[in-house]
C-alpha cells in the first residue's frame, strides 16, 4: 500500500516554512498544525520532521531557540528568518507552477 511519502517529497519544506511564517512554533507543534489544518490529510512522521527542521536550519531559513511549551515541557522553538521568508515565496511559486502543470495534463484530453 502506497502512502503519501512520495507526494510529500518536495512539499514538506514549503509546508513547514508556511506554518512558521505565522510565528514561532516547536517541531511537535508544526506536525500537529499540519495534521489539524489539512484535516488529517498530511501526516508527517518524526523521522521526516526533525531531519527536515535541521535541514532548514542548516540552510539558514529558520532559527531555533530552546524554551518551554504550553505543556511546560522543554521544546525547541523555530522561527522564520528573512531568507526563509524569501524561500517560502519561492517554494510557493514552484508548487503553484507545478500543480498547474499537472492539472493541465490531467484535465486535458487523454491520449
Partner DNA sequence: AGAGACTTGTAGATTGTCGACATGAAGTCA
Partner DNA sequence: TGACTTCATGTCGACAATCTACAAGTCTCT
* Cα 56-33-46 angle, rounded to 5 deg: 55
Which positions touch DNA (CB under 7 A)?
A: 3-6, 8-13, 26-29, 43-48, 50-55, 69-77
CB 12 to a copy of itself: min, Å: 9
Phi, psi dihedral angles at 11 (to 5 degrees): -110, -25
Q: Binders of a copy of itself among 50-109, rule CB under 8 A?
A: 92, 94-95, 97-102, 104-106, 108-109
Count other C-beta atoms under 10 Å from residue 45's C-beta: 11
CB 50 to a copy of itself: min, Å: 18
CB 9 to DNA: min, Å: 4
- Distance between CA 44 and CA 52 in Å, rounded? 10
Amino acid at each position: 500500500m502506497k502512502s503519501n511519502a512520495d507526494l510529500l517529497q518536495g512539499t514538506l519544506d514549503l509546508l513547514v516554512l508556511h506554518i512558521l511564517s505565522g510565528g514561532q512554533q516547536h517541531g511537535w507543534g508544526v506536525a500537529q498544525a499540519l495534521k489539524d489544518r489539512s484535516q488529517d490529510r498530511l501526516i508527517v512522521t518524526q523521522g521526516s520532521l526533525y531531519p527536515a527542521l535541521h535541514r532548514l536550519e542548516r540552510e539558514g531559513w529558520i532559527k531555533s531557540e530552546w524554551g518551554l511549551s504550553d505543556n511546560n515541557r522543554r521544546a525547541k522553538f523555530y522561527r522564520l528568518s528573512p531568507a526563509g521568508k524569501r524561500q517560502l515565496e519561492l517554494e510557493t511559486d514552484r508548487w503553484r507552477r507545478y500543480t498547474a502543470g499537472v492539472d493541465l495534463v490531467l484535465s486535458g484530453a487523454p491520449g
